[in-house]
Amino acid sequence: MDHSFPATSTQVLPHGVPEVTIIVPARDEESNLAACLQSLVTQAGVAFEIIVVDDASVDRTREIAQSFSGASVISPAPAPPGWTGKNNAVIAGVQQARGEWLLFTDADTVHRPGSLANALDEAKREQADLLSYSPEQIVVGFSERVVMPVVFAELTAHFPPHRVRDQKSGIAAANGQYILVRRSAYESVGGHAAIATEILEDVALARRFRNAGYRIHFRYGGDAVRTRMYRNWSQLREGWTKNLALLFPKPELLALESLVMWLVAWISLAIAVRGAATVHFLWTVFAALWLLVYRRIRVAHFSIPNNLIAIAFGPPIFAYLLLRSKHAFSQGQVSWKGRAYTVGGPAKLSKKNRNESSSNSKSNESGNPSRELEARS
């Protein structure tokens, strides 16, 4: 299939300087990249350029990217020791960027028409130096349906968007699938080069903006962008193993809380159904308990059927992934897309999570060292 678009589909100012540079790091993304770029090259209302950074892909990623005349395709230099692959790719893209604003977005995203211009307008209206959207999450397979609502419900509880937007809260967060930054502010905090060893680079970048006094605007952005993060259980397990222990300060406690919530939901539902059948007043009490569990899940912006499936089966799997992630970090290694990274042990992990979750303490500027051990050739 020919995905080519005329060069004029990329909106460029007459003097050739774009207002926004869109940077798409891509490693083995042949299943996603065409839809992503098609949604980007047809954006309108703002002058922009697109840079796809092919991060040593072994599939058709580069071929697909080059079929879009509205996108430039580059390859990054080998990552220095300790840098993660994604950070290295993003840094390479920034070095080629000409825009006053930079949009970092993943290859598995699809952008709604007009979303780029709207996001830029929103950033300016909110006087934000960093704007980040949490995309609408598309879930298809069983593992996605049961796990993703639980994960994103917990993310919403730990990083409430209204508190992230509160410049005095001390809570910083961003979603790496969509981060729009004012370039001058980005460069003043050191950009991705300052967090190149970070596995959870989006939160680390947001912390640097917050600590430097720059304004962050973060919200659910289903009106702008959607994504399907994982396409099978293996990808989902590897991806959340890499991230969960960094996102949540006490994974063991949260795993226990998830199991308790799951038991409460099932027991409450059973008692409520039995009580309703016998017209006993207790059924209303336990129905209310079940609704509280449902209310916790529904904030993640999934459909009602997905929420129900997640309540029925999700918490035990989420607990397993939390413990798996904590174990991987305690063992000192996590993997993603054919690359393995060394990570800090339990003491360093605990300190890092306290820094991320504390509303008053500053982050450790050097981050959590990560070293690429092996890469797929």
CATH number at residue 185: 3.90.550.10
Q: Are residues 68 and 43 in the same domain?
A: yes
Distances (CA, A) of 259 to 297, 313, 322: 14, 10, 12
Any idea what DSSP says for residue 191? G
Q: Are residues 136 and 42 in the same domain?
A: yes
Q: Are residues 147 and 288 in the same domain?
A: no
143 found inside a domain: yes
Q: Give the Cβ contact number of residue 168 at 10 Å.
A: 7
197 found inside a domain: yes
Q: And the tokens for 25? A: 């790091």
For strand 225-227 and strand 136-137, is the pairing parallel, antiparallel, or unpaired? parallel
Q: Are residues 263 and 167 in the same domain?
A: no
**pLDDT higher for 346 or 344?**
344
The dihedral of CA 64, 115, 92, 9: what is its sign?
positive
314 found inside a domain: yes
Q: Are residues 292 and 197 in the same domain?
A: no
- Of the pLDDT bands very low, low, confident and very high (cuts 50, 70, 90), residue 283 is low
153 found inside a domain: yes
372 found inside a domain: no
Q: Are residues 153 and 117 in the same domain?
A: yes
The verdict on pTM exceeding 0.75 is yes
- Please list, in sequence order, all residues whose beta carbon lies within 8 angstroms of the beta carbon of residue 176, skipping any fewer than 6 positions away: 86, 104, 106, 201, 202
Q: Are residues 213 and 280 in the same domain?
A: no
| pLDDT (0 to 100) of residue 361 | 37
Q: Are residues 224 and 272 in the same domain?
A: no
- CA-to-CA distance for 263 and 56, rounded, in angstroms? 45
241 found inside a domain: no
Q: Are residues 309 and 220 in the same domain?
A: no
Q: Are residues 226 and 298 in the same domain?
A: no
Name the least confident of 46-55, 105-114, 190-199, 368-377: 368-377
Name the least confident of 136-145, 223-232, 320-329, 341-350: 341-350
User: Considering 232, 265, 290, which residue would you say is the last residue of a domain?
Assistant: 232
147 found inside a domain: yes
* pLDDT (tens digit per residue) in 61-88: 999 999 999 999 999 999 999 999 999 9
3 found inside a domain: no
Helix (H, G, I), strand (E, B) or coil at 120: helix
Any idea what DSSP says for residue 52? E
Name the least confident of 108-117, 160-169, 343-352: 343-352
Q: Are residues 219 and 251 in the same domain?
A: no
Domain around 108:
8-232
Backbone torsions φ then ψ of 130, nearest 5 degrees: -135, 120
* pLDDT (tens digit per residue) in 172-188: 999 999 999 999 999 99
- Of the pLDDT bands very low, low, confident and very high (cuts 50, 70, 90), residue 285 is low
Contact 97/21 with Cβ under 8 angstroms? Answer: yes
| pLDDT (0 to 100) of residue 278 | 63
| pLDDT (0 to 100) of residue 60 | 97
Sheet holding 371-374, edge to edge: 333-336, 339-342, 371-374
Q: Are residues 30 and 153 in the same domain?
A: yes
State how many domains the chain has.
Answer: 2
